[in-house]
Amino acid sequence: MNKLALIAVVVLGIYSAKSNAKEVIRLPTFTTEHPIIEYLHLQLEQAIRATEQDYGETEVVRLKIPVEEKRQLRNLNQSITDIAWATCSLKRNEDYQPVLVPQIAGLFGLRVSLIREDDTRFANINSVDALKGLVAVQSSKWHDYDILVNNGFTVLSSDRFSAYRAVEKGLADYYPRGIAEVLGEMQTAQTKGLVIAPDHALRYPLLFLVYVKKGNTALAQRLTTGFERSIQDGSFLALMESQQWYQQAISIMRGRTIFDLENSGSLGGCLQAEKLYQTLLQAPYGNN
């Protein structure tokens, strides 16, 4: 074999190896366990599989070390992982690349109040002002804390699970929790003497999105295309509606008076997503 032919074979071999190589998409591991997390992985893989014909075969791997939401985001721009899930905000949209498709139909922005079982005051809550006269507890790490404060609520700062103890001990009157996660989290927290307050719920715009590394428009576009394809063929909503946590959320929401709050941090692309995916965001209310 002459030298030119040998070079051609080597180059062809390198090109073939690259062509056959799978793209790897690295996912974070959460610090808590909840069925919603597994659902997010399924929804993401659904989008990836829907675009493999365009982008080639893809392997999805999960990193072993659990990290919190803020660390998940920082890991993107450090190229440690390729995906993070987080609530949408203007600041995050500036620092990272959002995939502007709501992941759980906005249900993180629909909150019911965890109260002491013997607290009869909540049977007479008929306005948002009545709630503002009581003390809420919320994790200051979350956007929910700022949303409540900015809407005129009195809020005790705590972390996720200590907040349950604060209500149990009477340090706070209620703990607003996401309607899609409240039952599973109460079980995890082993709450004592706490129940979901009757009749009302709080609602504010709070979209949960996939984020990728700043500037990684190729992956963002791929996922957007994949999510949109699964929305159009009905599989996106079908997967969500098949989840037990979603069915429980619909059941809990039924018949409640909803008090709407503002979210001044939900700006920019978040508002764009709200407008583009109104049908998806209204899906939970169609069954109410």
pLDDT the model gives residue 22: 83
pLDDT the model gives residue 287: 59
Measure CA 126 to chain center: 29
Query: What is the C-alpha separation between 262 and 205, in angstroms, rounded?
Result: 7
Among residues 240, 205, 210, the alpha carbon closest in space to that of 226 is found at: 210
Per-residue buried b or exposed e for 26-44, using 16+ beta carbons within 10 Å of the residue's own CB: bbbebeeeeebeebbeebb
Say how many CA atoms lie within 13 Å of 213 toward its Cβ: 15
- Asked whether residue 4 carries a pLDDT value surpassing 70, the answer given is no
pLDDT digits (tens, 9 = 90+) for 142-166: 889 999 999 999 999 999 889 999 9
CB neighbours (10 Å) of residue 187?
A: 9
* Antiparallel, parallel or unpaired: β 110-116 and 200-203: antiparallel
Share above pLDDT 90 across residues of the chain, in percent, rounded to a whole number: 75
Q: Which two tokens stand for residue 11?
A: 């180059």
- Asked whether residue 187 carries a pLDDT value surpassing 70, the answer given is yes
pLDDT the model gives residue 98: 95
CATH number of 108-203: 3.40.190.10
CB neighbours (10 Å) of residue 124?
A: 8
Query: What predicted TM-score, i.e. pTM, was given to this entire model?
Result: 0.87
Where is pLDDT greater, at 108 or 15?
108
* Topology (CATH level 3) of domain 21-106+207-242: D-Maltodextrin-Binding Protein; domain 2 (3.40.190)
Mean of per-residue pLDDT scores for the chain: 89
Q: Which residue has the tokens 């609602």?
A: 203
pLDDT the model gives residue 272: 85
* 229 pLDDT tier (thresholds 50, 70, 90): very high
CB neighbour class for 171 (10 Å; exposed up to 12, middle 13-18, buried from 19) = middle
pLDDT digits (tens, 9 = 90+) for 200-222: 999 999 999 999 999 999 999 99
pLDDT digits (tens, 9 = 90+) for 39-77: 999 999 999 999 999 999 999 999 999 999 889 999 999
**What single-letter DSSP state applies at residue 174?**
B
Q: Which two tokens stand for residue 266?
A: 């939900």
How do the domains of the chain map onto residue ranges?
A: 21-106+207-242, 108-203
Hey, do 21-106+207-242 and 108-203 end up sharing a CATH topology, with the first three levels equal? yes
- Asked whether residue 116 carries a pLDDT value surpassing 70, the answer given is yes
**Contact in structure between 63 and 81 (CB atoms under 8 Å):** yes
pLDDT the model gives residue 220: 97
CA distances from 215 to 48, 52, 134, 187 (A): 19, 21, 44, 40
pLDDT the model gives residue 20: 53
| Least confident segment among 2-6, 39-43, 84-88 | 2-6
